[in-house]
Amino acid sequence: MRTLDVSVITENIREMCIEANHFLSKDMKCAMKEALRTEEAPLGRQILEQLQENLQIAGEDMIPICQDTGMAVIFMEIGQDVHFEGGSLEEAIQEGVRQGYTEGFLRKSVVKDPIYRENTRDNTPAVIHYELIPGEQVTITVAPKGFGSENMSRIFMLKPADGIEGVKNAVLTAVRDAGPNACPPMVVGVGVGGTFEKCALMAKKALTRPVDERSEIPYVCELEKELLEKINCSGIGPGGLGGTTTALAVNVNTYPTHIAGLPVAVNICCHVNRHSVRML
C-alpha cells in the first residue's frame, strides 16, 4: 500500500493549470508545425503563421495562449493500492485549481450558479473524473476547456440501424455546424457507444489522447483517418477563413452499448487543445 499526502496533488495541479495554459503539449506543437507545412491556401498559411507567433509570444512572456483559460477538467486515474492522507482528495484538487488560476493570473471564468451567474473568482469548482486502476500509481490529466469550442459540441442518440455511416454523418454534421466558432484548426473527440453520459465522457477524454496516436482497433483507426480527411476537405480552414487544415486530428473512443441504441458524442476543441499529464 502506497501512502500519498494530498498536498502533493494540490501542488502538481497548481503547476499543471499554469503549464497547460501557457505551453502546448509536444504532440500539439508538432501537429501545428505540420499543418503549416501542408496547408495549401495562402490565407490559411497566414492564419497558421499568426497562431505560431502567438504560441511563441505566450511561452516567452508567460501570457496565456488563449484569453479563455477555460473551465478546469481533471481526470484522475488512481491506483487502488494508493492511500491518501492529509485531508480530502477532492478539496486538494480544487485547491490546486484555485492556486493555479489565482497565482498564475489566469482568467476566472466559472460562475456559482448557471442561472444567477455570480463569478466564483478563483475558477473553481473544477469538473473532476475519477477512475480506479490496478497498482499504486496516480496519473493526473489537467485539461482546461474553453467554451468557444465546448459550445459547439453535440450528442446524437442514433438508431442501431444507422451504423457506421450514421456515426460519420453525425461527426461531420457537428463539425460543419461548428464552422469557425470552434477556432479551427480543431481537434475532434468522438465517443461512440455506452449511454448518453458515457459517450460524452469518452469524447471529452479522447481530446487528451496525443494527436499522433491512432486507435488500436483497426476499424476505428480507419474511421479516424477517413473523418479527418473528409473534415479537411470541408474548406472551413484555419480560423474558418478557408483552407485545407480544418482539423489536426480526430480521436475516437468506443464502448459497449445497449442493443437498442447507438449514442455518439462529438466534443470539439480549438487549435490549442490544452492538456497536461503527470504520473505520480
Indicate the residue among 126, 145, 164 that finishes a domain: 145
* Predicted pLDDT of residue 259: 98
Q: Is residue 30 part of a domain?
A: no
Q: Is residue 186 part of a domain?
A: yes
**Are 138 and 202 part of one and the same domain?**
no
pTM of the model: 0.92
Q: Is residue 32 part of a domain?
A: no
**Count of positions (residues) in the chain:** 280
Q: In Å, what is the CA distance from 56 to each residue of 33, 71, 128, 224?
A: 12, 23, 30, 30
Per DSSP bridges, beta strands 262-269 and 154-158 are antiparallel
* Predicted pLDDT of residue 59: 85
Report yes or no: 36 and 48 within 8 Å, Cβ to Cβ: yes
Give 272's Cβ-side CA count (13 Å radius): 31
**Are 223 and 105 part of one and the same domain?**
no
* Predicted pLDDT of residue 119: 97
Closest CA to 155 of 172, 140, 174, 139: 174
The share of the chain scoring above pLDDT 70, in percent, equals 100
pLDDT band at 16; cut points 50, 70, 90: very high
> Other C-beta atoms within 10 Å of 219: how many?
11
Q: Is residue 44 part of a domain?
A: no
**Are 160 and 245 part of one and the same domain?**
yes
**Are 116 and 158 part of one and the same domain?**
no
Domain region containing 100: 2-20+65-145
User: Does the pLDDT of residue 159 top 90, yes or no?
Assistant: yes
**Are 171 and 250 part of one and the same domain?**
yes
pLDDT band at 137; cut points 50, 70, 90: very high
* Predicted pLDDT of residue 60: 87
State pLDDT tens for residues 224-266. Answer: 999 999 999 999 999 999 999 999 999 999 999 999 999 999 9
First CA to last CA distance, the chain: 14
**Are 166 and 243 part of one and the same domain?**
yes
> Other C-beta atoms within 10 Å of 183: how many?
22
Q: Is residue 58 part of a domain?
A: no
* Predicted pLDDT of residue 265: 98
**Are 6 and 107 part of one and the same domain?**
yes
Question: Which helix (H) or strand (E) segment is 34 a member of?
Answer: helix 26-38
Average pLDDT, the chain: 95
* Predicted pLDDT of residue 133: 96
Q: Is residue 69 part of a domain?
A: yes
The share of the chain scoring above pLDDT 90, in percent, equals 93
Residue 71, classed as helix, strand or coil, is strand
Stretch 109-119: mean pLDDT: 96
Q: Is residue 279 part of a domain?
A: no
State pLDDT tens for residues 162-201. Answer: 999 999 999 999 999 999 999 999 999 999 999 999 999 9
- The total of structural domains in the chain comes to 2
Indicate the residue among 145, 177, 200 that finishes a domain: 145
Q: Is residue 241 part of a domain?
A: yes
* Predicted pLDDT of residue 1: 86
Indicate the residue among 116, 145, 174 that finishes a domain: 145
State pLDDT tens for residues 52-105. Answer: 999 889 888 899 999 999 999 999 999 999 999 999 999 999 999 999 999 999
Question: How far is Cα 37 from Cα 30, in angstroms, rounded to an integer?
Answer: 11
Question: How far is Cα 134 from Cα 158, in angstroms, rounded to an integer?
Answer: 34
**Are 116 and 6 part of one and the same domain?**
yes
**Are 236 and 159 part of one and the same domain?**
yes
**Are 195 and 230 part of one and the same domain?**
yes
Question: How far is Cα 39 from Cα 243, in angstroms, rounded to an integer?
Answer: 7
**Are 135 and 167 part of one and the same domain?**
no
Question: How far is Cα 68 from Cα 1, in angstroms, rounded to an integer?
Answer: 40
